[in-house]
């Protein structure tokens, strides 16, 4: 019985600690095709990131461009340069993530 109570306490602590971490998660995917980079951003529950700020950086962390996701969480742009591109989504209130397209992926999508 003592073992079961200890296990329940540990389980409660682990599950309680994981909640806040998921609260600030946002998903971002990107791919290059036909000279354009397409991005998709959404929350873990499937809701689109509407009006999220998208920032695009080169490998030296130089900001190349920025934009805003549409009502479906989509944002696309012409390939600014063939390089590693770090794409960041800022959905507000701590919801932030990044996705890196490697130079080879960008070049293949040109």
Model confidence pLDDT, tens digit, residues 39-85:
999 999 999 999 999 999 999 999 999 999 999 999 999 999 999 99
* Residue 106: how many other CB atoms lie within 10 Å: 20
Number of structural domains in the chain = 1
Q: pTM value?
A: 0.77
In sequence order, what are the residues at sequence separation of 6 or more whose Cβ sits closer than 8 angstroms to the Cβ of residue 28?
39, 40, 41, 87, 88, 89, 97, 98, 99
* CATH code for the domain of 97: 2.60.40.3580
Looking at beta carbons, which pairs linking 49-52 to residues 24 or more positions away fall under 8 Å?
49/73, 49/89, 49/91, 49/95, 52/26, 52/89, 52/90, 52/91, 52/92, 52/95
Alpha-carbon distance of 52 to 46, in angstroms, equals 15
Is 19 within the bounds of a domain? no
Picking from 3-7, 68-72, 97-101, which range would have the lowest pLDDT averaged per residue? 3-7
- Expressed as residue numbers, the domain containing 63 is 25-108
Give the per-residue pLDDT at 19.
43
Is 10 within the bounds of a domain? no
pLDDT at 93 over 90: no
């Amino acid at each position: 019985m003592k073992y079961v109570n200890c296990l329940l306490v540990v389980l409660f602590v682990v599950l309680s600690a994981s909640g806040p971490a998921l609260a600030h998660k946002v998903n971002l995917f990107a791919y290059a095709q036909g000279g354009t980079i397409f991005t998709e951003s959404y929350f873990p529950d499937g809701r689109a990131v509407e009006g999220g700020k998208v920032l695009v950086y080169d490998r030296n962390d130089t900001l190349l461009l920025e934009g805003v996701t549409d009502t479906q969480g989509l944002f696309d742009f012409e390939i600014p340069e063939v390089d590693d591109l770090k794409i960041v989504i800022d959905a507000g209130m701590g919801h932030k993530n990044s996705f890196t397209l490697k130079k080879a992926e960008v070049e293949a999508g040109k």
